[in-house]
Amino acid sequence: MSEHNNVGREGEDLAANYLIQSGYEIVTRNWRFGPKEIDIVARDGETMVFVEVKTRSTLAFELPQEAVTKKKMKNLVEAADAYMLQYNIELEGRFDIVGVLNGNPPKVIEHIVGAWQANDLL
């Protein structure tokens, strides 16, 4: 596995642990809908949360969460819709971003709850 993939996997592990400690239930990780992927699907009470994890090894250029583009958001909305349909889930959905700095030690630097709404992308 390449170094880039290792950094991403470590960031996702840290984000999942952070979410669990914050009271979320991790439902699945790395769920795919064709080429689209949801890093973490979690449950927060009666809400399904679709989490995009962005990990960076330095903050020199941008915060990790700033790397989530409008195209990525649209892809996540499509994948989340497919997930909800496939598993016949009738809960509210929410899109969060967890930004991770892969420093020493790595740490979650920000959890943006409700980072965007599906209808914000129209």
- Listed in sequence order, the residues at least 6 apart from 65 whose beta carbon sits closer than 8 Å to its beta carbon are 54, 97, 98, 99, 110, 112, 115
For residues 119 and 110, what is the distance between their CA atoms, to the nearest angstrom?
A: 23
Question: pLDDT tens-digit profile of 26-75?
Answer: 999 999 999 999 999 999 999 999 999 988 776 666 666 777 888 999 99
Question: pLDDT tens-digit profile of 86-120?
Answer: 999 999 999 999 988 877 776 777 899 998 888 87
> Residue 8, Cβ neighbours under 10 Å: how many?
18
What is the structure's pLDDT at 1?
47
**Whether the Cβ atoms of residue 29 and residue 40 lie closer than 8 Å to each other:** yes
In this prediction the pTM is 0.88
| Top CATH class, 3-121 | alpha beta
- The domain segmentation of the chain, as residue ranges, is 3-121
> Residue 107, Cβ neighbours under 10 Å: how many?
12
Q: At 19, is the secondary structure helix, strand, or coil?
A: helix
For residues 83 and 11, what is the distance between their CA atoms, to the nearest angstrom?
A: 23
pLDDT higher than 80, residue 23? yes
